[in-house]
């Protein structure tokens, strides 16, 4: 999966880690509480979720199931966000020359609140002038659910011109994110900004406030 969704009555889920290489690898799985501060992602160690097994050696072609378990079974009052980080542990090889590249995977985990209406994002965007002709998109989420933002576009949402293809990032509930853009302030002035939210096929308009510093 590209993310894990724990419903109010669900206390565990799982992901698979596979070694498609020709040599054995050691992997480490850790879980962090995920928040956003000053327009950036912030990860902090947490004991609210546990991963099992946290360490594993995988032979070539082997798969391993990793369970993600909530320590407190009660459903939260609001949506909670975490990230499971899976790292390839580097091996010590005195004969190796040059750089050694190891892989890291970061998987979002969302714990849904109990009862009521399904959570939904409510986004408010603004353009921030960074100076020297550079701008950034700032998005605040006033809703009670995360928003995954992709395929940022300008122009008519029915026929958008995509200026930032692919995944831009997430805005968590009640929080704010900021992304530098390869666009000019003049290009954004008076234009309509849109994006695909949470994997939807259609573009969703992002209302823009006046540029600010």
Distances (CA, A) of 139 to 15, 100, 129, 198: 30, 37, 14, 15
Is 99 or 106 the better-scoring residue by pLDDT? Answer: 106
What is the model's pLDDT at position 96? Answer: 63
Looking at per-residue pLDDT, the higher value among 211 and 93 belongs to 93
Domains of the chain: 4-111 (2.60.40.10), 123-206 (2.60.40)
How many CB atoms are closer than 10 A to CB 152?
Answer: 24
Q: Give the tens place of pLDDT for each residue, 118-177.
A: 789 999 998 888 888 788 999 999 999 999 999 999 888 778 888 889 999 999 999 999
pLDDT of 167: 94
Helix (H, G, I), strand (E, B) or coil at 66: strand
- Position 152 scores a pLDDT of 92
List, as one string, the DSSP characters of the chain.
--SEEE-TT--EEEEEEE--SSS-EEEEEEEEEEEEETBEEEEEE-SSEEEESSEEEE-TT-EEEEEEEESS-SPPSS-EEEEEEEEEEPP--TT--S-----EEEEEEEEPPSSSSPP---EEEEEEEEETTEEEEEEEE-SSS-EEEEEEEES-TTS-EEEEEEEEEEE-TT-EEEEEESS-HHHHTT--EEEEETT-SS-EEE-EEEEE-
pLDDT bin (cut points 50, 70, 90) of residue 42 is very high
The pLDDT tens digits for 48-80 are 999 999 999 999 999 999 999 999 888 899 999
């Amino acid at each position: 999966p590209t993310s894990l969704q724990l419903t109010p009555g669900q206390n565990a889920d799982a992901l698979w880690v596979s070694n498609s290489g020709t040599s054995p690898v050691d992997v480490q799985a850790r879980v962090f509480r995920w928040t956003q501060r000053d327009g950036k992602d912030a990860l902090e160690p947490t004991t609210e979720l546990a991963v099992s097994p946290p360490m594993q050696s995988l032979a070539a072609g082997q798969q391993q199931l990793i369970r993600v378990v909530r320590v407190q079974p009660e459903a939260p009052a609001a949506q909670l966000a975490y990230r499971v980080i899976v790292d390839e542990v580097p091996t010590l090889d005195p004969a190796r020359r040059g750089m050694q590249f190891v892989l890291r995977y970061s998987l979002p985990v969302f714990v849904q609140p109990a009862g009521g209406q399904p959570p939904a994002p409510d986004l408010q965007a603004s353009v921030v002038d960074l100076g020297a002709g550079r701008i950034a998109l700032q998005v605040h989420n006033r809703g009670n659910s995360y928003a995954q933002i992709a395929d940022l576009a300008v122009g008519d949402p029915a026929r958008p011109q995509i200026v930032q293809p692919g995944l831009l990032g997430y805005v968590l509930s009640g929080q704010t994110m900021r992304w530098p853009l390869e666009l000019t302030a003049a290009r954004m002035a008076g234009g309509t900004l849109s994006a695909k939210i949470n994997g939807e096929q259609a573009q969703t308009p992002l209302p823009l406030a006046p540029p600010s510093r």
